[in-house]
Amino acid sequence: MANSDFIIQYGTLTKYIGSDAEITIPEEVKRIGPSVFKNNTNIVSVVISEGVEQLGGYAFQGCTSLKSVKMPKSLLKIATGAFSGCVEMANVVVPEGVTEIGDAAFSGCTSLENIVFPNCLHKIGKNCFMGCDSIKSITIPEGVSNISDGAFASCQNLKSVSFPTTLTKIDSSAFCWCYNLEDVIIPDNTTEIGKNAFRNCYKIKKIVIPQNISVIQEYSFANCKNLTSVNIPDSVTKIEQHAFAVCEKLKKVSLPKNVEMDVHVFLGCKALANKDGFVIVNNTLFDYFGESQDVIIPDGVTSISGCVFSESEIKSVVIPEGVTKIAERAFEVCKNLSKVTIPQSVKKIEKDAFASCPRLTTIVIPEGVTEIEEAFRDSNRLKKVFLPKSVTNIAHYAISYKTTIYAPAGSYAESYAKENKIPFVAE
């Protein structure tokens, strides 16, 4: 290896024209430019000389034979994609002095087993270690406050993570698809857990949400198949859709009484079902695993979440007094559903609530309902809809022109029928 193999301009290594397997970066280099060694399959080991402060973006990307890298104490930053796709690299020691590891810096390093972080590290970039299948444990140093989007996503053999007390945010998909990740202790100072953060972490059994979290974002813990219990503190005011969906073994949930919950939060959580097959959390019905096709929803339920009975074999349903809304797609594609009893407490029927229900021929909407969205889409055999005087808003395509509306004369329903050329009978 000769220094003539290195093209250096004003302290920046801009090009390498050699073919050696073992490389030592010349001492006069202060910066390694972008993509200098990209896709060089000859390199097996690299020694980066003291004095180099920055590795440029994608500097060693795709160096599929690279096994060993020695980085200097002078290094301050590892830029985006610097070692991505270096599939033979098994061990990395990031030197003291490095404060930032860029986006996707080590993504796809499938043989990487050990990574040692410096104590001064502050930032781990997006997708930084995504797809590093061989990593089994990670210790994130004190000082790191944010684990970026997808930072450790798809690290399929990652079993344990030690978080610093300085951590305040776990971004979206940070540990998504870490199939072997076991119980995690999220630090008390954490204020945000992003969507999909721990989705598909099959082996997590228990989660304690820190007291500073106010929102549990969508799909945060979805499909954690072995999760059995979760304790949600009083600080949480909202749980977004699918947050714990398909957590099949979830048996125990502790959560605030007045927390707001979106649709599908506990969809597919079979172990939460009562003896009749209803999954009810904080008076909201999230799923049904019962065998009866003639369903009587229990008293005390005040909300029916979306998709609860979607594509089920139920033939009839009685909705209890107290329910105020029938959510989107709640009874979608119920091919055998022919009878629905709706209470006067219901105020709104949302989009596709009864879509594609071919055996539903008649439905009585009680006094009290004020709004009907496109609830009956593709329920082509619906011949009669009885509407109350209280209805004041019906979506344009909510009711087919093949259906007859029965409602009080002079009501909003009558004017809606005339405007949309739907047959009308005054009651």
Structure tokens at 58: 């994608």
* Mode of pairing for the β-strands spanning 206-208 and 215-216: unpaired
Q: Measure the CA–CA gap between 243 and 255, rounded to whole angstroms.
A: 13
- On whether the CB atoms of residues 189 and 168 are closer than 8 A, the answer is yes
Question: What does the pLDDT read at residue 275?
Answer: 96
* Integer CA distances (angstroms), 172 to 129, 193, 226, 230, in order: 14, 7, 21, 20
Strand partners, 394: 372
| Exposed e or buried b per residue across 227-236, where buried means at least 16 C-beta atoms within 10 angstroms of its C-beta | bbebebeeeb
Q: Measure the CA–CA gap between 36 and 218, rounded to whole angstroms.
A: 40
Question: What does the pLDDT read at residue 352?
Answer: 96
Q: Give mean pLDDT, residues 272-277.
A: 97
- pLDDT at position 372 over 70: yes
Gyration radius of the chain's alpha carbons? 29
Backbone angles phi, psi at 9, to 5 degrees: -125, 115
Structure tokens at 107: 């993504």
Q: For the residues of 305-360, what is the DSSP string, one character each?
A: -TTTTTT----EEEPPTT--EE-TTTTTT-TT--EEE--TT--EE-TTTTTT-TT-
Strand stretches in 197-314, DSSP E: 206-208, 215-216, 229-231, 238-239, 252-254, 260-261, 278-281, 284-288, 294-296, 303-304
pLDDT digits (tens, 9 = 90+) for 67-125: 999 999 999 999 999 999 999 999 999 999 999 999 999 999 999 999 999 999 999 99
Q: What is the pTM of this model?
A: 0.90
Place of tokens 């304690």: 208
Q: Where are the domains of the chain?
A: 275-427
- Residue 421's contacts (CB-CB under 8 Å, 6 or more residues apart) are 401
Q: Measure the CA–CA gap between 359 and 370, rounded to whole angstroms.
A: 25
pLDDT digits (tens, 9 = 90+) for 198-231: 999 999 998 889 999 999 999 999 999 999 999 8
- On whether the CB atoms of residues 338 and 361 are closer than 8 A, the answer is yes
Q: Measure the CA–CA gap between 41 and 338, rounded to whole angstroms.
A: 66
pLDDT digits (tens, 9 = 90+) for 154-199: 999 999 999 999 999 999 999 999 999 997 889 999 999 999 999 9
327 half-sphere exposure, CB direction, 13 A CA radius: 19
Query: 406 pLDDT band (50/70/90 cuts)?
Result: very high
Q: Give mean pLDDT, residues 240-253.
A: 96
Q: Give mean pLDDT, residues 366-379.
A: 96
Q: What share of the chain is helix, strand, coil (3-state, %, to 5)?
A: 5, 25, 75
- pLDDT at position 2 over 80: no
Question: What does the pLDDT read at residue 1?
Answer: 59
Cα 98 from chain centroid? 31
Strand partners, 280: 285
Q: Please state which CATH class domain 275-427 belongs to.
A: alpha beta
Query: SS3 of 393, please?
Result: strand
Q: Which of 73, 140, 77, 137 has its CA nearest to residue 103?
A: 77
Question: What does the pLDDT read at residue 257?
Answer: 86
Q: Measure the CA–CA gap between 19 and 31, rounded to whole angstroms.
A: 21
Query: 263 pLDDT band (50/70/90 cuts)?
Result: confident
